[in-house]
Amino acid sequence: MDASPASENPSTVPSATVVAAQMLPDGLVTADADGTVTSVNRRAEQVLGRGAAELVGRDIRTALPLETRNGESWWTLTDPWNGLRIRTGHREKLLQTSDGTELLVTAKYERTGRGGPLAGILLGLRDAEARRRAEHDHAALISTIAHELRSPLTGVKGFSSTLLRRWDQFTEPQRLTMIEAVDSDADRLTRLITDLLDVSRIDTGKLRIHEIPVPVREFFTRHVERAVAAGGDASDFTITIEPGAEEVYADSDRLDQVLSNLVENAVRHGHGRVDLSASPHASHDGTGVLISVSDDGAGIPAEQRRAVFGRFWHGPSGTGTGLGLYIVKGIVEAHGGWAQIDDGADSGAVVRVFFPGEPT
């Protein structure tokens, strides 16, 4: 692409400032005190989809008729010529052109002296695609939360309302069954809220860890018993603890959370068999304990493994919040360890998490 016009006199040798403007990663449009466009860099051409020759020399208000989302003229609202002279610009705003193209616009007003008349305008322009992606992710978060909250809330509301209205019509065992269902749904709500709070703590680096020596077999056994109580077959679970890995130095509550997510994922994505193992591990990361949970499902393709530990990743089943492995990775890294996923020994996938040993 040829160099964009830098001023009303394109034959002028570009100054260092103009050359620097062409190298900016964001679009830049400048105008003089009267509002006449004096320069447009290449990135601004790309963002606007218009050549500099089409803009330079025109009044910036007609060359770039920026509007708010309500259709109001942004130039009328901001009015750098007749507005407050102490105003030196605007922070980034989401605006649109007359054809509906969305732009992120930052304005800088150059003035003659402090509080003096307008000397020039600089507009920074960025494509709003990143903003749209962020809004899409935000909408996905709201949708996920709403969906996950609605199911247990529906159960709680349905059973509690039925019991209140028809208490005398049910037998004692029926009442007990419904109350147990309400209790189970309340536990699901509590866990979802806990997961969301943990995601926030992980994102802000405020996840607190209190490490102590924790017996591995006791924790493994507890989670197998939970899975069996939820309908699993005890013969489908195996526990292997190698010498030197009987204890792991970790926050007991957080380790419980890690194992809960890993076992739940293995049960959900596998065909029944789940193997839990712990082994001593030594590498450049130091010494500690490597905990592995494997299933006999379809496994995870190599190209998707980096995404597995991201927020809202869902496996083939498409169930769950998609936060489990993100939380696992955050908790393990808060301990100074790491998490990874590989192919299982025969089939399926194995998730390994490393917990460093007790500091000496």
Rounded-to-integer distance, Cα 142 and Cα 360, Å: 45
State the pTM of this model. Answer: 0.60
3 state SS of 206? coil
pLDDT of residue 187: 84
Rounded to 5 degrees, what angle do the CA atoms 108, 111, 115 make? 110
3 state SS of 46? helix
Q: Which residues of the chain have pLDDT under 50?
A: 1-13
pLDDT of residue 242: 96
Q: Which residues, at least 6 apart from 239, have a Cβ–Cβ distance to it below 8 Å?
A: 217, 220, 221, 224, 276, 277
C-alpha separations of 331 from 210, 337, 338, 359 in Å: 11, 9, 9, 18
Rounded-to-integer distance, Cα 206 and Cα 134, Å: 23
pLDDT of residue 7: 42
pLDDT of residue 15: 62
Rounded to 5 degrees, what angle do the CA atoms 166, 157, 174 make? 45
pLDDT of residue 185: 86
pLDDT of residue 269: 82
pLDDT of residue 135: 72
CB 262 within 8 A of CB 293: yes
Q: In terms of Cα–Cα distance, which of 286, 267, 268, 288 is closest to 278? A: 288
CB 225 within 8 A of CB 291: no
Structure tokens at 69: 């989302």
pLDDT of residue 176: 92
CB 335 within 8 A of CB 251: yes
40-64 pLDDT per residue, tens? 999 999 888 889 999 999 999 999 9
Q: Which domains does the chain show, CATH number per domain?
A: 16-127 (3.30.450.20), 132-204 (1.10.287.130), 212-356 (3.30.565.10)
> Each residue of 192-228: b (16+ CB within 10 Å) or e?
beebbebbebbeeeebeeebeebebeebbeebbeebe
